[in-house]
Structure 1
Amino acid sequence: MKQPLGVILAGGQARRMGGGDKGLLRLGGQTILSRVIDRLEPQVAGLALNANGDPARFSEYAMPVLPDSVTGFAGPLAGVLAGLDWAAEQGAETVVTAAADTPFFPCDLVPCLQLAAEGMAHPLVLSATPDPERGTVRHPTFGIWPVALRDDLRAALEGGLRKVVLWTDAHDGRVAQFPVGEIDPFFNVNTPEDLERAEALLKRKA
């Protein structure tokens, strides 16, 4: 399987953080987005950011900023579609997505997703972690997505679909399970309290 392109999803409205861009919050002396870039960039052939509004606020990151093509904040799938359309222009076969507010995701995200996708006609895999109460928990902003299904996804979004797993299940999507250590590797910063927790975790890792 060819190395995918990477798309960082930052198209949410950050309501629980009071609005703004969660990825631009500072964590341990740098933005969360910078930490996400540092983890994802070595694993992919190129990188873009999915975000709405004025792209100039991300100018220091020197990468394409892709707005949703579906209006009305249609959720993560709209960001995936923007990434797939961009990847199609680059001649890529797949993209791997990561959320802009998740600073500790696995450094082997891409190879694990690719391994889980082996043998699939259209690689479509979501990251997951085990949970003692809920079983397997899927993380729908972290996955590998096939460019070949972008028109199907566009039609689903235009038809009102918003829930990621409904679309991936309809295409026999798989999961790649990642272990949980001190924290869930897909822990994301949604609230000011989460940012404090992330700072504490970072200090313990240092």
Structure 2
Amino acid sequence: MTPTSDPVLDARARAAEFAAGSTPTRESHPSTTRAYPRPGRLIGRVSARLAGIAAVTAGALSIVIGVLQFLFPQDEDPTIDPRTRVILAMFTISLWALAVLFVGLARYARSSWGAITAATGTVLLTIGTITSAVNGIDLEFFPAVAMVANAMWLVGAIALCVSLVRAKRVSLWLALPIPFLQVPLLFLSQVGGGVPAGAFLLILGGVLVTGRIEGRARRLAAH
């Protein structure tokens, strides 16, 4: 308000501004609401639909692998036969799909380092699966690579799970199983562990593709 020479008019003008809710002397403060979806070059490229498709891909392949390994268990022979090469190829694709899924889930987490770590671990593990499939035998460096990759996958998955739970944008029953996927996919693979893991991934992928997680996250962000 620009002051005038008449104090009566000035008082009336101030009263009118107060009645209208104008507060010229108070500075507006920026909103502290967390942006949604979370910004980031890598995260922004993986939409909910793409993450869902990746989860469905990993889930379907995991079920097929689980059935094959249950029906045709591998023996102690280190040589990789043609059927095992096909399984390794499918497992490699599923690991890449899991990496995309992890990065996509970072959109709904408080931080992205867990998702990036887990995704890096699954991609690193494919170095071993690809070289084994190509050479027909596990190379000498495979155990070391697998150890580092599995550790990154596990630590990253745990961090991603905690971050998702704290953000409360993904249901608990979808977030909590994520760190346990390694158990059936790796350690119980010979007894068909890929089947239950794949079933969970199919459900998670379906929820992502249909937009249910996206809708839940937007509703919570709007409050």
Question: Taking structure 1 as the reference length, what is the TM-score of the superposition?
Answer: 0.29
Point out the structure with max Rg over C-alpha: 2
Question: Taking structure 2 as the reference length, what is the TM-score of the superposition?
Answer: 0.27
